[in-house]
C-alpha cells in the first residue's frame, strides 16, 4: 500500500488525490448542526411548542423511553442491513459507497460517533420536531431529502436514500409521538454507516475500491 505524500495543497493518497481532513470535517459538521439546533430553538420558541413532541396530546402522554428507544434501534438496524445489502449486491450501491468513502476520508470511530449524535439530534429536532407538525409528513420528508442533495453526480443515489429515510423517520415520529425513536434510529444509522465508509476508505472491507492509508486514529 502506497504511503500518502504531502503536496502544496496538503496530504495526498497514493493516487495523488487529496486526503480529506477529518478534524476539519468534524468541526464543520458540529458548527452546522449547532446552528441547526439554534434555528430549531428559535422556531420552537416562536411557535410556542416543544419540538420533542408531535402534538400537544403527545406531550401530555409523555415518552415511553424503553419502548421508543427499542423501536428506534430496530428501525436503525433494518436500514443498516438494507444499505449493506445494496452495497454488496449492486454496482450502484458499490459506486455510491466508494464515492462517499472518498469524500469522507479517514474518520476515526470517535469522529463517527460524534457526527452521528450531532446529526441525529439536530436534524430530527428540525425536520421532524419543527417542520413536520407545521408542514406535514410528506413536505418535511421531501425537504429532508433536498437538504441531502449530493455535491457530485455519482453521489446522487445518496439523496434518494436520504429521501426514503426521511419518510421512514417521519413515520416513526408520527407513530410514537416524540423524537426518541427517530433520533435513536438516525444516530445509529449514521454511526455504523460512517464507520463502514471509513473502513472502506482504508480498504478494510471486502470489495472496497478505496485503498489509501489513513493517519493513525
Q: Mean pLDDT, the chain, as a whole number?
A: 88
Across 8-17, 45-54, 123-132, 138-147, least confident range? 8-17
- Residue 79 is assigned to a structural domain of this protein: yes
Contact 65, 177 (CB under 8 A): no
**pLDDT digits over 70-94, tens only?**
999 999 999 999 999 999 999 999 9
Cα-based angle 3, 24, 22 (whole degrees, multiple of 5): 40
Q: 152 pLDDT band (50/70/90 cuts)?
A: confident
Q: How confident is the model at residue 181 (pLDDT cuts 50, 70, 90)?
A: very high
Mean pLDDT check: name the lowest of 71-85, 108-122, 200-214. Answer: 200-214
Residues 205, 199 contacting (CB under 8 angstroms): yes
Please state the rounded mean pLDDT for residues 179-192.
98
Least confident of 7-11, 51-55, 138-142: 7-11
Q: Any idea what the Cα angle at residue 37 is, between residues 36 and 41, rounded to 5°? A: 120
Asked if residue 6 is part of any domain, the answer here is no
The answer to whether residue 13 scores a pLDDT higher than 70 is: no
* pLDDT of 1 over the 70 cut: no
Backbone angles phi and psi of 7, in degrees to 5: -110, -175
Q: Domain count of the chain? A: 1
Within-domain flag for 5: no
Does the residue 210 lie in any domain? no
Gyration radius of the chain over CA positions: 18
**Is residue 27 pLDDT above 60, yes or no?**
yes
Examine the pLDDT at 6 and tell me if it is beyond 80: no
Give the pLDDT score at 19.
79
Q: Which three three-digit cell numbers place residue 86? A: 445494496
Look at residue 10 and tell me whether its pLDDT is greater than 80: no
Over residues 26-43, mean pLDDT: 97
Domain span at residue 103 reads: 22-201
> Is residue 216 one of the residues assigned to a domain?
no
Contact yes or no for 177/55 (Cβ under 8 A): yes
Residue 14 confidence (pLDDT) above 60: no
Tell me what pLDDT residue 3 has: 36
In a domain, residue 12? The reply is: no
Helix (H) or strand (E) holding 11: strand 10-12
* pLDDT at residue 169 in the model: 98
Task: Decide if 182 is inside a domain.
Answer: yes
Q: Which residue has the cell 500518502?
A: 4
pLDDT reported for residue 17? 59
Mean pLDDT of the region 107-119: 97
Q: Bridge-partner residues for 27, per DSSP?
A: none
pTM for the whole thing?
A: 0.87
The pLDDT of residue 15 is above 70: no
217 domain residue, yes or no: no
Amino acid at each position: 500500500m502506497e504511503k500518502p505524500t504531502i503536496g502544496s495543497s496538503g496530504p495526498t493518497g497514493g493516487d495523488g488525490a487529496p486526503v480529506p481532513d477529518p478534524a476539519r470535517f468534524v468541526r464543520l459538521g458540529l458548527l452546522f448542526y449547532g446552528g441547526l439546533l439554534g434555528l430549531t430553538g428559535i422556531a420552537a420558541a416562536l411557535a410556542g411548542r416543544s419540538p420533542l413532541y408531535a402534538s400537544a396530546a403527545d406531550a401530555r402522554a409523555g415518552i415511553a423511553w424503553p419502548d421508543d428507544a427499542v423501536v428506534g434501534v430496530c428501525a436503525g438496524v433494518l436500514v443498516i442491513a438494507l444499505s449493506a445489502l445494496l452495497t454488496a449486491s449492486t454496482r450502484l450501491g458499490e459506486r455510491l459507497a466508494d464515492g462517499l468513502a472518498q469524500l469522507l476520508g479517514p474518520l476515526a470511530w470517535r469522529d463517527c460517533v460524534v457526527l452521528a449524535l450531532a446529526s441525529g439530534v439536530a436534524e430530527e429536532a428540525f425536520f421532524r420536531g419543527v417542520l413536520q407538525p407545521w408542514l406535514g409528513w410528506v413536505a418535511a420528508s421531501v425537504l429532508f431529502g433536498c437538504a441531502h442533495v449530493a455535491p457530485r453526480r455519482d453521489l446522487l443515489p445518496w439523496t434518494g436514500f436520504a429521501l426514503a429515510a426521511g419518510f421512514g423517520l417521519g413515520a416513526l415520529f408520527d407513530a410514537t409521538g416524540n423524537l426518541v425513536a427517530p433520533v435513536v434510529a438516525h444516530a445509529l444509522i449514521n454511526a455504523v454507516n460512517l464507520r463502514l465508509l471509513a473502513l472502506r476508505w482504508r480498504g478494510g472491507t471486502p470489495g472496497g475500491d478505496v485503498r489509501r492509508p489513513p493517519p493513525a486514529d
